[in-house]
Amino acid sequence: MPRILIIGANFAGIAAARAIPASLDVTVVDRSGSFEWRPNIHELVSRHRAGASLRVDRGRMVRKAGHRFVRAEVRDLDPARGVAVTDKGRELRFDACIVATGGVWDDRGVKGAARHAMPFKSIADCAAIGKKLAELARAARCDTGAAQRDGGQKATALRRAPSRALGKPRASFNVVIVGGGIEGVECLGEVLRCYRHHAGLRVHVIDAAPRLMAGSSRLVDAAVRAHCASLPVEFHLSTRVTAVRPGGVGLVGKGRAHALLHADVVIWNGGARPSPLLVDSGLADDQRQWAAVTTALQSKRCANVFVAGDAAGLPRPIAKQAYFALQTGAHAGLSVARFVAGLAPLAFHPASKPMLVAFGDLDTFLVAETMVLAGTALALLKEGMLQATLAELDPPTDTDAAFALGLRLLSGLRAAALPELFSIERLLRLPGIRLLR
């Protein structure tokens, strides 16, 4: 029987595994044991949600699809020989392979970023940011308290006095968010959800683009800025970070000389770049290229390799989003099953979906192709997507009761919540929902 190997088991890899019949010989390999639901990880920044609720056991998911799971990192991939070698030296042989390795954290070559900035990419990263913010907020509160006990005059002087380094007032904490894309906006929302009433909070958002979420509707940018008008948030747009060092970041921007900004914490949302495995295995030409594929997701370099999710560089690029990763994963699964059966793979046609962007407890945006809706009630839809998709990817089959419960939850969410997502008229009937213009 032909052997199929899937490298990477998050959105794309799991969707691929589920699309391949259990009768085929499939091995799924991932370096970590837990599936991670990324679209809600910003909520760990405010500790509004615990990381465990966004993790699912990968081995269980793969076994439910009827396949074998190997927990290991693939270090070497040789498509011509049909072999992948893991960090433990194990050889995984295949006739056809799906590469679903996503992307890796990108410091964009900025000096000091890898060392002094906190990445915002995984559950562990966001939990660490949440912990750091809580420590800073606690320390700033103590500082304010101590100053106030010393008498009003001294307290005012302390709060106004610039510190030695980069003009930091005592008893405050400066949070610098690098990147004003969807992740940056969602991260800002969580910082504000938790600390906007803390007298010491100062937030700076930096992006090279002239507006927030530059690739999306400008209505979201305007709405986020309107929410922040009376909050301690400063936007540094058309501005690049030149270096990150302990206690601050260097900036350079349009019409602005090189400046230093004090930072107690730097949260880095610089996006992702391709995994080095792509170029090392010959699937991409250089370190910054995604694996070039045909419209059928088949590698242009190696016919026995299909690429899904963020790792795929389609002829017409699509957004690096979880819902596309699920779609390309499922399609790559079907394509690889056709390939090993000697059939030609079929073209992939992306189905575009509205994007949900959370802004803490202040707002949620639904960005569709031609319009943007806003309102905190939309947060329910984001939750609905999470619960429905996880219930589908990891159906509760352990006992009859859990199974029934899962099915009820799934069908309830599908029937009641998700259709709302695709009907603008019905969404507008929800309380507090507004159409942005």
Give residues in contact with ligand FAD (CB under 6 A): 7-13, 29-32, 38-39, 41, 73-74, 100-102, 120-121, 183, 275, 277, 309-311, 320-323, 325
The minimum distance between CB 49 and ligand FAD, in angstroms, equals 13
The minimum distance between CB 73 and ligand FAD, in angstroms, equals 4
Residue with smaller CB distance to ligand FAD, 107 or 141: 107
Residue with smaller CB distance to ligand FAD, 52 or 341: 52
Neighbouring C-beta atoms of residue 230, cutoff 10 Å: 8
The minimum distance between CB 133 and ligand FAD, in angstroms, equals 16
The minimum distance between CB 151 and ligand FAD, in angstroms, equals 45
Burial 358-394 (b: 16+ CB within 10 A, else e): bbbbbbbbbbbeeebbbbbebbebbbbbbbbbbbebb
Residue with smaller CB distance to ligand FAD, 312 or 427: 312
Question: d(Cα 179, Cα 9) in Å, to the nearest integer?
Answer: 27
Residue 132: alpha-carbon gap to chain centroid? 20
Residue with smaller CB distance to ligand FAD, 29 or 155: 29
The minimum distance between CB 311 and ligand FAD, in angstroms, equals 6
Residue with smaller CB distance to ligand FAD, 20 or 140: 20
Question: d(Cα 279, Cα 282) in Å, to the nearest integer?
Answer: 5
Residue with smaller CB distance to ligand FAD, 126 or 140: 126
| CA pseudo-torsion sign 63, 69, 71, 74 | negative
* Strands (DSSP E) found in 263-336: 265-268, 272-274, 291-292, 305-307, 312-313
The minimum distance between CB 208 and ligand FAD, in angstroms, equals 18
Q: Which residue has the tokens 């609905």?
A: 384
Neighbouring C-beta atoms of residue 328, cutoff 10 Å: 30
Residue with smaller CB distance to ligand FAD, 8 or 112: 8
Q: In what order do the strands lie in the sheet with 118-119?
A: 118-119, 265-268, 173-178, 201-206, 233-236
- Beta partners for residue 409, in sequence order: none
The minimum distance between CB 80 and ligand FAD, in angstroms, equals 18
